[in-house]
C-alpha cells in the first residue's frame, strides 16, 4: 500500500561538471547520491509540468524556467510549491536509500471525487541487493509493474550527463505532447501524490497510508523511460475516456 503525501489545503491553491585533466571527454559518473538528486529534480519538474499541461491550475499560476534545454513551467502558487517541496524533500531521503519503487501523481475531480488521470513513475535501481530487498515487501509488490518491466536491462555502459539530459528532454517533450490524446479535464480538479515505499521505511507522522487511487476502466499508455548509471525511471499514464 502506498504512502500518501500529507494533505494540502484546498488550492487557490549544478550539476557538477568535472572535466578530467587526462581526458576531457571521459564520461562523468553519477554516484547513487547524485543520481538520486537528479531523479528527485526530475519528479519535481514532472509534477509541475503535468499540473500545467493538464490545466489543473490556470496558466497564469505558472512561470517558465530553463531546464533540460527546454522552457519548463513551474507553479507560482505558494501552497502548491510548499506541498511539492515537502514531498521532494522526503523523496530524496528515501530514494538515496533505495526505499521506493514508484511515485504516482493522481488528478481527481473535485465535484465527483473520481480519479481521472494517474501518472505513474516506476523507480528501478541498478543494484541487485536493493532490488531483491524490495521484492520482499508484499505491500509494495501489490501495485508494482510486472517483473519483466521492473527488472529489465541493467545498463551496459556508463552514461554521460549529456546523454541523460537528452533522454529526460525527450520524455518531457512526450509528456507535453500527451495533450493530443488525453481527454480534456472538465470541471475543477485537484491532485495527490503517492509514494510506494518499502514496509520498513521511516514515514513522517503527517504522511498516511492510501489506496492506489486507480482510474476505473482506464486506458493506459507507456511513455518513454530515462536512466542514469544508478536508476531507470519508467513512465505510464492511465486515463479515463469520456462517456
Q: Give the CATH number for residue 54.
A: 3.30.900.10
Please report the DSSP string for 204-229 in residue order: -TT-EE----PPTT-EEEEEEEEE-S
Could you tell me if residue 53 is inside a domain? yes
The C-alpha atoms of residue 218 and residue 116 are separated, in whole angstroms, by 9
Alpha-helical segments (H) within the chain: 32-53, 78-96, 128-135, 138-141, 147-150, 161-177
The C-alpha atoms of residue 178 and residue 161 are separated, in whole angstroms, by 26
Model pTM above 0.85: no
Could you tell me if residue 16 is inside a domain? no
Q: pLDDT digit string (tens) for 26-59?
A: 444 457 788 899 999 999 999 999 999 999 999 9
Query: For the CA atoms of the chain, what is the radius of gyration?
Result: 18
- The mean predicted confidence, pLDDT, of the chain is 80
The pLDDT of residue 2 is 65
Inform me whether the pLDDT recorded for 142 exceeds 60.
no
The C-alpha atoms of residue 213 and residue 226 are separated, in whole angstroms, by 25
Give how many domains the chain has, as a whole number: 1
Could you tell me if residue 175 is inside a domain? yes
Percent of the chain with pLDDT over 70: 74
* Residue 127 structural domain: 3-7+29-239
Could you tell me if residue 13 is inside a domain? no
Could you tell me if residue 120 is inside a domain? yes
Grid cell listed for 134: 524490495
Could you tell me if residue 68 is inside a domain? yes
Amino acid at each position: 500500500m502506498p504512502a500518501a503525501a500529507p494533505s494540502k489545503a484546498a488550492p487557490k491553491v549544478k550539476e557538477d561538471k568535472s572535466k578530467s585533466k587526462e581526458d576531457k571527454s571521459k564520461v562523468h559518473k553519477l554516484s547513487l547520491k547524485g543520481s538520486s538528486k537528479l531523479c528527485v529534480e526530475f519528479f519535481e519538474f514532472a509534477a509541475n509540468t503535468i499540473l500545467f499541461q493538464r490545466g489543473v491550475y490556470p496558466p497564469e499560476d505558472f512561470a517558465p524556467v530553463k531546464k533540460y534545454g527546454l522552457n519548463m513551467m513551474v507553479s507560482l502558487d505558494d501552497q502548491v510549491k510548499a506541498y511539492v517541496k515537502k514531498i521532494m524533500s522526503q523523496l530524496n531521503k528515501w530514494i538515496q536509500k533505495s526505499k521506493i519503487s514508484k511515485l504516482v501523481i493522481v488528478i481527481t475531480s473535485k465535484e465527483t471525487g473520481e480519479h481521472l488521470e494517474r501518472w505513474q513513475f516506476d523507480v528501478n535501481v541498478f543494484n541487485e541487493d536493493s532490488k531483491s530487498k524490495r521484492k520482499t515487501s508484499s505491500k509494495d509488490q501489490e501495485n508494482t509493474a510486472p517483473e519483466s518491466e521492473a527488472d529489465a536491462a541493467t545498463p551496459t555502459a556508463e552514461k554521460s550527463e549529456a546523454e541523460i539530459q537528452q533522454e529526460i528532454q525527450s520524455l518531457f517533450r512526450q509528456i507535453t505532447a500527451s495533450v493530443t490524446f488525453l481527454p480534456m479535464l472538465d470541471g475543477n480538479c485537484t491532485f495527490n501524490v503517492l509514494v510506494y515505499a518499502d514496509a520498513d521505511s521511516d514515514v513522517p507522522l503527517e504522511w498516511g497510508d492510501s489506496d492506489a487511487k486507480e482510474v476505473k476502466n482506464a486506458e493506459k499508455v507507456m511513455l518513454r523511460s530515462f536512466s542514469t548509471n544508478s536508476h531507470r525511471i519508467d513512465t505510464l499514464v492511465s486515463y479515463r475516456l469520456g462517456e
